[in-house]
Amino acid sequence: MKKLTLRISLASVLLFFVVLLAADSGIKKPESKKPRVKRVATTSVETVRAAKTPQFSGTLRAVKRASLAFTLSGRLETRPVEMGDIVEKNQVLASLDRKPLLNAESAAVAQLAELDARIAQSKRDLERVKDLVSARAATREEMERVASVADSLSATRDGALTRLKEAGRLLREADLKAPFRGMVTAVHMESGEFSNAGKPVISLGGLEALELEIEVQESLLPHLEPGDVVSLELPFSNHRKAEGHIKSVGRSTTGQGRLFPIVIHIDWEPGLLAGMTAQLKLNLPAENEIAIPIASVINPGGSRPSVYRLRENRVERVEVEVGRLMGELVTVSGELQAGESIVIGGFSGLRDGELVEVMQ
């Protein structure tokens, strides 16, 4: 009986493993999935032809201008002018405290008077010694000593006279005068403040002519020559028009990618003042330009805008330089050529060199 029970148990175990193997052999293993190809929308790079009208803004300034300072230090005593005042040539604009200078001048005058008195006395002494020498009552050596004192006093007087002249010059330098007729454009110090020599006190601009300085890209230099007549607009003065001519064109700059300075001379007219905002608009001939939809540009306002160019169903990231907006298009420069395909939709998450499928 026990042998029969054992045989039945072994048969049950064998049957269990047979069923388990049969079930396992019927399970299908999952097949490996193929990588999903991203689908993108594309468009073609276009060529557009439109006239360029670049616009530049700047501030009018006087052609003749000066930052005025004293040549000596002292306390600013008076400054009778204010910003915006019209002043005439040689008009006093500011004055230093003159008391120390007057004292120096008075001391020089007193020293000169003393020396004149001593020189007069030495001359009389010399005449008496000469008489004594003639009468054999004095020696020639004594006469030479008296003559030497007289010569020394004369040399000392020359130095005192120079100091008196210098004191007078410093008194004149204590007044800051306008070197030309113009307008006070800035005041830098108030009465009572101490002014160091060379420190600006007043800025002055002439009234005869004005100029405008702007900075332009290198690509515009061929269109700008000295002597060219240009039109300006004053946007904050009822869009008033003014005319000028190019005075100079900068042919050098401080580094790669920097702008070049252009100076425009403007004849003065009533109502034109230094400090006004002026705009220059250039009308340049039309040229063929590369244009693409702004929606296709990645990071258009950043430092490295780019697009995805499509070549043989693979995308290639290409950097571009963004130019002018023209509706939904933007002009660009770089490696792109007209007729090439670029991605305009579905480029989120794309990687350079990735395989893509173009939406129909």
Tell me if 33 is assigned to some domain.
Answer: no
Question: How, if at all, do strands 306-311 and 182-187 pair?
Answer: unpaired
**CATH at 115:** 1.10.287
Q: Which DSSP state fits 83?
A: T
**CATH at 235:** 2.40.30.170
CB 129 within 8 A of CB 146: yes
Pair (226, 211) in one structural domain: yes
pLDDT single digits (tens) 180-232: 999 898 999 999 999 999 999 999 998 888 999 999 888 788 888 999 999 89
Which residue range(s) make up the domain with 251? 55-63+206-285
What is the rounded CA–CA span in Å between residue 130 and residue 142? 9
What is the rounded CA–CA span in Å between residue 154 and residue 156? 5
CA dist list (Å): 275 to 139, 230, 310: 81, 19, 52
pLDDT at 33: 56
Q: What's the angle, vertex CA 275, arms to CA 280 and CA 69, rounded to 5? A: 135
In this structure, the number of other CB atoms found within 10 A of the CB of residue 223 comes to 14
pLDDT at 257: 58
Q: Which 3 state secondary structure label does DSSP give 298?
A: strand
pLDDT at 12: 54
At residue 117, φ and ψ (nearest 5 deg) are: -65, -40
Helix, strand and coil content of the chain, in percent to the nearest 5, comes to 30, 40, 35
Pair (245, 300) in one structural domain: no
Tell me if 69 is assigned to some domain.
Answer: no
CB 77 within 8 A of CB 194: no
Nearest Cα neighbor of 141 from 151, 133, 150 is 133
Pair (292, 278) in one structural domain: no
Pair (265, 309) in one structural domain: no
Question: How, if at all, do strands 356-358 and 38-44 pair?
Answer: parallel
Tell me if 189 is assigned to some domain.
Answer: no
| Boundary residue ending a domain (285, 313, 334) | 285
Residues with pLDDT less than 70, the chain: 1-35, 254-257
| Boundary residue ending a domain (242, 265, 285) | 285
Structural domain count, the chain: 3
Q: Which residue has the tokens 């007044």?
A: 175
Tell me if 254 is assigned to some domain.
Answer: yes
| Boundary residue ending a domain (285, 307, 340) | 285
